[in-house]
Structures are given as structure tokens and as C-alpha cells.
Amino acid sequence: MCKFVKKKKGIDIMRKMGKKLVSMALAASMVLSMTACGGKTEETEAANTEAATTKAAETETETEAEAEAGNQQADIVVIGAGGAGMSAAIQAVQDGATDVVVLEKMPIVGGNTTRATGGLNAAETQYQKAEGIEDSVELFVEDTMKGGKELNDKELVTTMAEQSNDALEWVNELGADLTVVGMFGGASVKRIHRPSDTSAVGPVLVKTFSSQLEELGVPVLLNTKAETILVDENGAVSGVKVTDKDGNTTTIDCTSVVLATGGFGSNEEMVVEYKPNLAGFCTTNHAGATGDGIAMAKEIGAAFVDMDQIQTHPTVNPETQTMYTEGVRGNGAILVNKEGKRFVDELETRDVVSEAILKQTDGVCYLLFDQAVRESLAAIEGYIKAGIVTEADTPEELGEALGIDGAALAETLTAYAGYQAAGKDDEFGRESMELPLNQPKYYAALCAPAIHHTMGGVKINTSCEVLKEDGTAVSGLFAAGEVTGGVHGANRLGGNAVTDIVVFGRIAGSSAASYVEANGGHTEAEIKVEKAEEAAAPEVQGNYKDGVYEGTGKGNNGEIKVKVTVEGGNVVAVELVEHSETDGIYQTAEESVTAQIIKKQTTEVDTVSGATNTSKGIMEAVAQALSTAK
């Protein structure tokens, strides 16, 4: 079993290490080459020399033996490159940790975080103050506890609220620009902080964190799945067993693990095990949200809380599974049923709105808004481009286009404009009515509830230590984000997931760094990643006419246009001309798919999981371009 060499490490070593590590972010299909510490660096030798006690020397020998056996070495292994994992890795390095590595089983970073559309809830912020919004940590705690039906762990909620402003300042310092304050369901005041261009928050955060990891030289190993967390004879974390994209299993020895694998909203079996009435529901989750972290933590004795608390998001397109951000309602939209009538306070908590929708005809409703709402939120343009919004010049025509009673729709809108003008919703008591909804055009989007957030998970304390049933911690194991339980209780408020992942991700990173400081790190890792993109060269001879060709394909959100260059009969480059795919997802699909096309000289290549439609769109566009190159 592993013991660790106490090393004296400093920021200089970290910087030098950073330069040697070829970091990667937002890139698919990268080749992972993890070098065992046999080929050690000068810095490693120096660090180990400084730690030359007899015990350390013995330990060093053991570590060498392990390395010879093929194990990799790191101080902190972060499992999962979503918002929580990336926040943890960045914070750990900011706290002086040197050998941090992030594992991501998918070909892209971001997880469910990429899909976050709303923003980050924070109280007592400079942006609220600038707008004269009176908020407090206490009110934030109160709203969150009320929204979670008081099932939440109040200590965790208090930590989240207290550190929310710091978290906001931190992400903005990294470049996220969450400066616009808005209203979301369950909040007593405007508290959600969104990107200044009103775009979805997830892609902005993922891009910001990825760039930061790259700058810090933290390797992010894509297509690398953590299978098991290893512990020593004392139950302390000692390593992680991983499988790479070629199916090879290796072990990374480490001192500490941050578990940030997200939830289990895409694991139908697991969802139904904990909440049978959700059988058959669609999900807003990315394909990797399968609860791996829950299984790994269970194996080493972690305790769990609130596993049956699974949230549905009320406004999801039942056909495409596109989630309409709560911001649409926050900015003014209402919900109407197939009879053209409102049926709920649209800004009620997600559980209440979801339940109300399920009681309507066919268990669906329409998200209804006007031109003014459209212009208030950039995210709406994405829904319109995706062809999932019906539009018309009048409410009557909209009703006709939807196949519902247009007169009833018009009546509903007139009544709502009256409530808005009076500042009092006589029917459902909605408090925030931003706009009168009387400015043509009118828009409607079909929606129904879908599995959204798994509130339950691994039990943690406010230092993000993973706890066992007896209340003691699993030494060296920290967890943050959707894999944990307790923060959101029975229902998560919109905007609290992002606060959760940043606040607790940072705490987990800090705790892991302190743990390594106190317990000694491992030998220096030399974990390298090499961009497939750089290695992409034709492996077979193509048979195309030399030239530059353009083609178009249908992606997830609309048309994708590409420019394909053929030289010496081979496709040598595929360039993006235009697209409206989700930032982050497009780049990943592009890198993987184009690298494969160039290697294989065919457009019949593998799609990137989590970006299937985008991959297909690129393949179709290249195929169309090449159809004229034969």
C-alpha cells in the first residue's frame, strides 16, 4: 500500500510543472499518454531530495516500485470536469497544490454544467447594490430552505449563501462576466447573476474554467473514466483506477481525490430505483450523468442523503428535450394549457410548476411570450433557430397555428396585461410581472416536465469531506456539486446549482490542497496529453479533386457551414464557416469529427457522444462539400 513522501513544494515548481504539461480543454479525441514516474524530472528529483528522511527514502523505494509496475502519480485527482470539478482543480492550484489532474470520462468537458442556462445566485453583491436590490445572506438561506421544503442541510446552505458573493467575484475575476441581475423562481428578490449578453451561463463558465485550467497547466484527461477509488489499510484514499478510451486500465496513485462526477439524471434505472413515478420521463441531463460517483463512494463506505429527491424541470420541449431557461418566465413569459388558459403562478418553485403542468390536458403546456420578452433574452434566439417556437402576429393567429382556441389565448393575454398594469395577479398571485405581454409578435413553445437535477447524493460537511454513516470522514476524499446531497433538500431553486458547484467546488479544492499539505504529496506526476488535432494526418490516401469546397449540414441548433480543403487528393483541413451550435459542444465535436475525417478520408466516422447532432451536422456538411470534389 502507498505511503507518501512529504515534499517541499512551491509555486515555482508548480509553474515549471505547468509548462511541461500539455493541458487540454474543450478538445475531443485527444490521445492520452500517461508516463510512469520512472522518467522523472529534475524538479521531481529536487523535491524528493529535500524530503530525504529515512522514512521518506523507504517510501520512495516503494513508490518507485509501484511506478515500475506502471502506476501514474498525482497529488490530487479530480474526478469529473464539470463546473464543480474544474472549480476544485483551479482552487487547489491557487492554494499551492502542484500535481493536480482532472479526469473526464466523456470526450468533452462541461457535463451538465454546459447545459446550465440561468445563472449564479448570490446575495449582497455589488451588482444588486448598484440596482438598489436589498438582499441578505439570511434571506438567501431562508428562500433556499423554503424552496427545499426545509429538508436541506442548513449548515451547507448557510455556507453556500455566505460564500456566494465571493464565488461570483471569483468567476468574474476569471473572466466570466456574470453581471446582470435577474429574477428566478423561489427567490424573494432579484438574485440570479447572468452573463452581460444574457446568454446561457453554462457555456460561459465552462469556457472560462477550461481556459484557466489550460493557463495553469492542469492536465484534463478526456475519455478517461474513473472506475474505483482505492483506499489503503487505514481507509485513506490512495489512488484511482481508471479506464482510458482504448479500454486500458491503469492506476493513478494519489493522496487526495475530489469527487465531482455530477448526478444520475441520465441513469433511468437508478432514477426509477429511487423514484418509481419518474419511469418513462425524458431528461435534460447529458449522457454522462449516470451516477458513477455514487457507486464509487458507496464502495468505500460513504453515507448518502436524500437520494429520492429528484427534480423535474417544468419547461422542457418533449420532442427535442431542449430546456427553456426559467429566465424566459423570469423575464415575463406565462404558461398556458391547451385550452389557452393560465393554470399556475409561473414563478412558483419547479416542483409546484411541474406538478401543475402534469395535471393539464396531455400533461403539457405552452410557454407564451411576446416580442419584448424575446428581445430581453439572447437564449430565446437559440430556441427560435432550433425551430421549436411557433410565432404569429396576433394571439388569435398563434392559437390557430397551435391548433388551440385563439380567442381564449387572446382573453388570457388581455387579463394578464390588466394584472401587470395593476401590479396584482388576481388569479394566481404571481408577484414579478416584468412585461404586459402585448407587443407583437407572439410566441409559444410546447413544454412538459423532464428529469433535471438529482438533489440527493454523497453526504458532506462544510469542508466538503465525504462522511461515513458514523459521521467520520473518509480520509483524503472530498466531494462537490451534484454528486453530493443536502444542499438543495427536496427541491433546488434555479440559480442555486451554479452557486453550489462554484462554492463547494472551491472548498473541495482548498480542502484537498490542505490535506496534501498536511499528509504529504505523491511523487511528481508526468501526465501528458497530446492533441489528436496535432496528430491528425491522413492514414489512407484520399481520392478527391484538389481545391477548396463549401458544404452545409443540419446541426442541433440550425445550419452548419464548412470549408473543406483538398490537397494531393486528401482532405487536409475542415474549417468552420458558420454555425449556431452551443459554444463548447461545437468545438469539441469539430475537433474530433474533423480529425477522424482527415485520418480516414471519409465522412463515415464516429459521432461525439453528448454532441451527436452537431457531429452529424459537420459530417453532412463535409460530405456535401466533397460531393463536388469527386
Catalytically annotated residues:
350
- By CB under 6 A, the count of residues binding ligand ADP is 26
Residue 289 binding ligand ADP, by CB under 6 A: yes
Of positions 18, 107, 111, 456, contacts ligand ADP by CB under 6 A: 111
Among 18, 195, 314, 481, binds ligand ADP (CB under 6 A): 481
Q: Which of residues 534-573 bind ligand ADP (CB under 6 A)?
A: none
Per CB under 6 A, 482 contacts ligand ADP: yes
x/- letters, 74..103, toward ligand ADP (CB under 6 A): -----xxxxxxx-----------------x
- Name the segment binding ligand ADP (CB under 6 A); options: 287-295, 313-321, 560-568, 571-579: 287-295
113 is a site residue for ligand ADP (CB under 6 A):
yes
Smallest separation, CB 455 to ligand ADP (Å)? 12
Concatenating the DSSP letter of every residue in 328-343 gives HHHTT-EEE-TTS---
CB of 193 to ligand ADP, least distance (A): 17
CB of 313 to ligand ADP, least distance (A): 15
Least Å distance between CB 202 and ligand ADP? 8
Measured from each CB, the residue nearest to ligand ADP is 82
Pairing of strands 365-370, 310-316: unpaired
Beta bridge partners of 335: 367
Out of 203, 217, 262, 551, name the contact with ligand ADP by CB under 6 A: 262
- String of contacts with ligand ADP for each residue 492-511, x by CB under 6 A: ---------x----------
Q: What are 527's strand-pairing partners?
A: 34
* 261 is a site residue for ligand ADP (CB under 6 A): yes
> What DSSP state is assigned to residue 525?
P
Alpha carbon distance 512, 260 (integer Å): 13
Minimum CB separation of residue 226 from ligand ADP in Å reads 4
Query: In terms of CB distance, is 464 or 560 closer to ligand ADP?
Result: 464
Q: Which helix (H) or strand (E) holds 481?
A: none
Is residue 194 within 8 A of residue 524, CB to CB? The reply is no
Closest CA to 467 of 228, 156, 96, 94: 156
Looking at 111-119, 275-283, 323-331, 377-385, which segment touches ligand ADP (CB under 6 A)? 111-119
260 is a contact residue toward ligand ADP (CB under 6 A):
yes
Among 292, 370, 397, 526, binds ligand ADP (CB under 6 A): 292
Q: What is the DSSP letter of 440?
A: S
Tell me how far apart the alpha carbons of residues 378 and 185 are, in angstroms, rounded to a whole number: 19
- In whole angstroms, what is the distance from residue 92 CA to residue 509 CA? 4
297 versus 410: smaller Cβ distance to ligand ADP: 297
Between CA 112 and CA 119, with CA 116 as vertex, the angle to 5 degrees is 145
Q: Is 105 in the site for ligand ADP (CB under 6 A)?
A: yes
Residue spans of alpha helices (H) in 192-321 = 201-216, 268-274, 292-299
Q: Contacting ligand ADP (CB under 6 A), which of 18, 186, 217, 288?
A: 288
Q: Does 225 participate in binding ligand ADP (rule CB under 6 A)?
A: yes
The residue length of the chain stands at: 630
Q: Does 112 bind ligand ADP (CB under 6 A)?
A: yes
CA angle 109, 113, 117 (to 5 degrees): 135
Q: Looking at residue 166, what DSSP letter applies?
A: H
Q: Which three cell numbers stand for residue 601?
A: 478520408
Closest approach, Cβ 224 to ligand ADP, in A, equals 6
| Per-residue CA distances from 52 to 56, 461, 462, 541 (Å) | 6, 35, 35, 56
* Residue 104 binds ligand ADP, judged by CB under 6 A: yes
Dihedral pair phi/psi, residue 240, rounded to 5°: -135, 130
| DSSP strand pairing (249-253 vs 72-73) | parallel
The three three-digit cell numbers of residue 487, written as one number? 444542499
Least distance between ligand ADP and beta carbon 562 (Å): 27
Q: How far is the CB of 147 from ligand ADP (least distance, A)?
A: 18
Q: Which stretch binds ligand ADP (CB under 6 A): 109-117, 168-176, 305-313, 409-417?
A: 109-117
Q: Which of 24, 183, 226, 598 binds ligand ADP (CB under 6 A)?
A: 226
CA dist 219 and 236 (Å) reads 24
Q: Tell me whether residue 259 or residue 367 sits nearer to ligand ADP (CB atom).
A: 259
The string of DSSP letters for 493-520 reads PTTHHHHHHHHHHHHHHHHHHHHHHHH-
Tell the smallest beta-carbon distance from residue 367 to ligand ADP (Å).
25
Give the CA-trace dihedral at 194, 196, 199, 202, to 10 degrees: -50
Distance CA 62, CA 440 (A): 73
Using the contact rule CB under 6 A, the part of the chain among 286-294, 303-311, 515-523, 524-532 near ligand ADP is 286-294
Question: How are beta strands 442-454 and 390-392 bridged, if at all?
Answer: antiparallel
What is d(CA 590, CA 29) in angstroms, rounded to the nearest whole number?
10
Residue 351 in contact with ligand ADP, rule: CB under 6 A: no
Phi, psi values for residue 366, rounded to 5°: -115, 140
Does residue number 449 form part of the binding site for ligand ADP (CB under 6 A)? Answer: no
488 near ligand ADP (CB under 6 A) = no
Task: Tell me which residues touch ligand ADP (CB under 6 A).
Answer: 79-85, 103-106, 111-113, 225-226, 260-262, 288-289, 292, 481-483, 501
